[in-house]
Amino acid sequence: MCVDLLQKNRFFKLVCGAGNEDVESVKRHVFVYAKAGCKVFDLSAKKEILESAKEGAELSGMKNIHYCISVGIKGDPHISKAGINNSLCLKCGNCARNCPNNAICLPNIIDEKKCIGCGLCTKKCPSGAISMCEKDTDIKEVLPDLVKNGADILELHIMGHDKKDLDYKWKLINECNPQLTSICVDRKNMGNDEILKCISKMIEPRKPYTTIIQADGVPMSGGEDNYKTTLQAVAMAEIIQNANLPVYIVLSGGTNSKTMELCHQCGIYPNGVAIGSWARKIVKPYLSLPDFWRNTEAQDRAVELASSLIQTNFNPPLK
Ligand code: SF4
Ligand code: SF4
């Protein structure tokens, strides 16, 4: 049960990417991180992605794996995709070289299934040829089906600007009656008081301790392994912890191998950590090999790195 992991403060979630619709990439990540001891995987709201994650888990031989489905509201970067304006493109290749998910084929074609909406390419483009575009999908049909097929947690990212969309999607999520719900929050669009007010209202109809608050530092900023990158996630977790709400606290957004250590130095005791960018980055050289499934040496090395990252987020021993 996911709840056991949370209650024991041993909840580690690999974020495959709310916008990651690349089935092969998801299968490889789940295979490696499940073998390394990860029990929870965050996926985009697509049937084929859940199936591919299950295949990866099956191949790993590990049991009791849980799946969290992420849903964004309008304005959330996680549901955006990059697009290139060919008339402005200089074909310099900067975007492709800097894309963390190999979503850009040279000179300038974007594979939407691989694009996770991080926006890094827009910052690296010298001519302003790239813009981000929201790709909101209707989840009304797909969510109940995903829960029926094994999704344990439904997570709503509330960092967008559209309150009407928030209410609509939160209602849909609750109607699906998942084992747990999760609310992912950051401080980009809301102040501390507004965030707490919003969370309190959202959890009002729910039983105590059936909701996770995912304290997001800066979404998709975890490309580095230092204290500064993870600082905002720890700060966000402190705000939630101080509010004493009947929820579980999990950190994300800039999380890395320093996250739990910094938490403890600051007197923050979360129930778990979710890692995306940094967790994917450390195994990328191995997972992107064309012969990955035959290359057991590469698989073992990737598992070793993943395992070490998971352990740093369980240690020092939790309160
Ligand atoms: S850099 Fe980020 S936003 Fe740009 S194509 Fe790659 S994944 Fe998408
Ligand atoms: S960085 Fe901009 S100009 Fe360079 S190839 Fe990419 S889209 Fe074109």
Alpha-carbon span 191 to 193, nearest angstrom: 6
Q: Whose CA is nearest to atom 2 of ligand 1?
A: 118
Q: Whose CA is nearest to atom 7 of ligand 1?
A: 115
Residue 111 CA to ligand 2 centre (angstroms): 15
pLDDT at residue 274 tops 70: yes
Q: What are phi and psi of 52, to 5 degrees?
A: -70, -35
Take residue 188 and report the two structure tokens written for it: 């980009």
Residue 244 CA to ligand 1 centre (angstroms): 37
Task: List the one residue out of 133, 144, 158, 150 whose CA is nearest residue 80.
Answer: 133
Residues near ligand 2 (Cβ within 6 A): 84, 89-95, 107-108, 124-127, 129-130
Residue 123 CA to ligand 1 centre (angstroms): 10
Residue 71 CA to ligand 1 centre (angstroms): 19
Q: Which CATH class is domain 78-134?
A: alpha beta
Tens digit of pLDDT for each residue in 1-39? 889 999 999 999 999 987 888 999 999 999 999 999 999
pLDDT at residue 316 tops 70: no
More confident residue, 137 or 302: 302
Q: Please tell me the predicted confidence (pLDDT) of residue 315.
A: 64
Q: Please tell me the predicted confidence (pLDDT) of residue 114.
A: 87
Helix or strand holding residue 202 (H, E): helix 192-203
Alpha-carbon span 280 to 101, nearest angstrom: 9
Common-topology check for domains 2-74+138-312 and 78-134 = no
Band (pLDDT 50/70/90 cuts) for residue 135 is confident
Band (pLDDT 50/70/90 cuts) for residue 284 is very high
Query: How far apart, in Å, do the first and last CA atoms of the chain sit?
Result: 20
Domain boundaries, the chain: 2-74+138-312, 78-134
* Mean pLDDT, range 263-273, rounded to an integer: 95
pLDDT at residue 317 tops 70: no
Band (pLDDT 50/70/90 cuts) for residue 180 is very high
Tens digit of pLDDT for each residue in 210-259? 999 999 988 777 689 999 999 999 999 999 999 999 999 999 999 999 99
Q: Whose CA is nearest to atom 4 of ligand 2?
A: 92
What is the C-alpha radius of gyration for the chain, rounded to an integer number of angstroms?
19
pLDDT at residue 53 tops 60: yes
Pick the CATH number of 2-74+138-312 from 3.40.50.300, 3.20.20.70, 3.30.720.110, 3.30.40.10: 3.20.20.70
pLDDT at residue 66 tops 60: yes
Mean pLDDT score across all residues of the chain: 92
Any idea which of 4-8, 13-17, 105-109, 140-144 has the lowest mean pLDDT?
105-109
Contact between 180 and 153 (Cβ < 8 Å): yes
Q: Please tell me the predicted confidence (pLDDT) of residue 261.
A: 95
Best probe residue, ligand 1, of 16, 78, 80, 104 (max atoms within 8 Å of C-beta): 104
pLDDT at residue 318 tops 60: no
Any idea which of 102-106, 126-130, 301-305 has the lowest mean pLDDT?
102-106
pTM of the model: 0.91
* Mean pLDDT, range 158-165, rounded to an integer: 81
Contact between 72 and 78 (Cβ < 8 Å): yes
Q: Please tell me the predicted confidence (pLDDT) of residue 263.
A: 96
pLDDT at residue 107 tops 70: no
